[in-house]
């Protein structure tokens, strides 16, 4: 719909609302294996590593297509690219219900994963409808579609218990088809938002040589890649660690997924007000503290006292664990918005390409991490080893940020003072 009679601000909000709805549905589909993977694991007799690969497979294609989708969005506009992308996933989502072998799920999952590429389409699409001082807000609101991970945890367990896991992809295919129609009729296109460039795909990828882009990729591999990985991993973690029913486990896992998605809009507003660096810096420190506490495994130890051996237990109960996961989800919601505020401020003319590259890095983190979680669990037998791994990754970002931003600013201030 392109109507000059409609005020531009009204078009902007229409685009933002319908795009956020579309992204929420895409993310819900992208995270589908986080719930239905549990009965599939039982049905196929998978180990933890195989389960990790199963849940991560859609994340792979959703990550790899982000760069070309970002480039095509710059060139052709977000409306047509988003609509075609969502429509292309509907057959694969439906076919998932008929998979019976492990390789069936992996192959079909690759096509379902295209839905995850919607992030690098919608981000530049909505950002270009708003002025510079509102881009962080716009991208944050759109990014709140990450809450589709929580929506999946509300809907899928109910369907699994009532009708079996095969009902989930059938319902999701119908929802996606309906969303395509809604998006097409309520979105808009502005030719002024397209970027006419003769640069080749490989030439645009030269942005990877920019140290800042690499740094933002590292940040995003935590706040988004870690979010995706844990959103996929948490339901089975609750079931295995605390022996909960799948519905209760999904509800508690949503305490991480929901704020990790919805509050991204607030992160965008905070980034507009205080700057991307300050928000990201505090996000990393909060993450570091939460992951340190979450890393400690359930432990029993015996101390020889004057009254004889005394056994003590140290470990997080389900309430403390859920509270820490909720705090981590809030921090990462802010961090996802602040990283893209960096991009909106520093790369306004090729935001689609840069956001695609950074989104690719974050998505690849979401692909690799669940597989590593499973491998670590199979190797060590310690479920909290997943958080130990994430704790180490956060250390890398804190050190990198200190030397390139905090330390660099201190040196510059001393030079100016001198």
Average pLDDT over residues 359-371: 87
Longest alpha-carbon distance in the chain: 86
> pTM for the complete prediction?
0.80
pLDDT at site 413: 52
Average pLDDT over residues 223-228: 90
The percent of residues above 90 in pLDDT, for the chain, comes to 45
State yes or no: pLDDT of 378 exceeds 80: yes
In tens, the pLDDT along 74-101 reads: 888 889 999 999 999 999 999 999 999 9
Contact present, 365 and 221 (Cβ < 8 Å): yes
How far apart CA 128 and CA 121 sit, in angstroms, is 12
Higher-pLDDT residue of 285 and 130 is 285
Cβ atoms 282, 264 nearer than 8 A: no
Q: Is the dihedral of CA 103, 107, 109, 113 positive or negative?
A: positive
User: Would you state the pLDDT for residue 353?
Assistant: 72
Q: How far apart are CA 333 and CA 230, in angstroms?
A: 13
Helices (H) and strands (E) in the chain, counts: 20, 2
pLDDT band at 342 (very low <50, low <70, confident <90, very high): confident
Please report the pLDDT score of residue 265 as a whole number.
76
Please give the structure tokens belonging to residue 329: 């989800």
Rounded Cα distance between 66 and 352, Å, is: 9
pLDDT of residue 204: 59
What rounded mean pLDDT belongs to the chain?
Answer: 86
Domains of the chain: 9-187+210-417 (1.20.1250.20)
CA distance 40 to 192: 47
Of residues 386, 345, 355, the one with CA closest to residue 369: 386
Answer whether 266's CB lies under 8 Å from 275's CB. no
The tokens 């962080």 sit on which residue?
136
State residue 58's pLDDT score.
92
Position with higher pLDDT, 263 vs 101: 101
């Amino acid at each position: 719909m392109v109507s000059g009679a409609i005020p531009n601000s009204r078009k902007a909000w229409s685009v933002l609302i319908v795009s956020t709805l579309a992204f929420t549905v895409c993310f819900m589909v992208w995270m589908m294996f986080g719930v239905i993977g549990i009965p599939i694991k039982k049905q196929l007799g998978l180990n933890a590593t195989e389960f990790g690969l199963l849940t991560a497979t859609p994340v792979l294609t959703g990550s790899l297509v982000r760069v070309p989708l970002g480039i095509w969005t710059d060139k052709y506009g977000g409306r047509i690219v988003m609509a075609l992308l969502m429509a292309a996933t509907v057959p694969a989502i439906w076919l998932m219900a008929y998979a019976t072998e492990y390789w069936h799920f992996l192959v079909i999952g690759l096509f379902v994963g295209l839905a995850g590429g919607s992030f690098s389409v919608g981000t530049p699409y909505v950002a270009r409808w708003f002025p510079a001082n509102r881009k962080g807000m716009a991208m944050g609101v759109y990014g709140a579609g990450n809450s589709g991970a929580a929506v999946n945890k509300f809907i899928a367990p109910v369907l699994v218990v009532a009708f079996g896991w095969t009902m989930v992809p059938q319902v999701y295919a119908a929802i996606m088809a309906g969303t395509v129609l809604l998006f097409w009729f309520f979105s808009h296109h502005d030719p002024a938002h397209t970027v006419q460039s003769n640069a080749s795909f490989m030439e645009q990828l030269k942005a990877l040589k920019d140290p800042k882009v690499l740094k933002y990729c590292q940040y995003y591999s935590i706040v988004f890649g870690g979010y995706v990985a844990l959103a996929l991993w948490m339901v089975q973690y609750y079931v295995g660690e605390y022996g909960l029913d799948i519905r209760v486990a999904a509800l508690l896992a949503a305490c991480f997924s929901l704020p990790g998605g919805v509050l991204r809009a607030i992160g965008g507003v905070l980034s507009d007000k205080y700057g991307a660096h300050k928000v990201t810096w505090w996000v990393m420190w909060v993450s570091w503290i939460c992951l340190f506490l979450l890393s400690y495994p359930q432990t029993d130890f015996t101390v020889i006292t004057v009254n004889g051996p005394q056994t003590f237990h140290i470990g997080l109960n389900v309430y403390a664990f859920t509270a820490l996961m909720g705090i981590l989800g809030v921090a990462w919601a802010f961090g996802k918005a602040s990283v893209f505020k960096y991009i909106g401020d520093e790369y306004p003319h090729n935001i689609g390409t840069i956001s695609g590259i950074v989104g690719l890095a974050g998505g690849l983190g979401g692909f690799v991490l669940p597989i590593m979680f499973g491998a670590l669990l199979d190797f060590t037998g310690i479920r909290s080893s997943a958080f130990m791994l994430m704790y180490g990754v956060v250390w890398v970002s804190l050190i990198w940020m200190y030397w390139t931003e905090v330390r660099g600013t201190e040196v510059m201030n001393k030079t100016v003072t001198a």
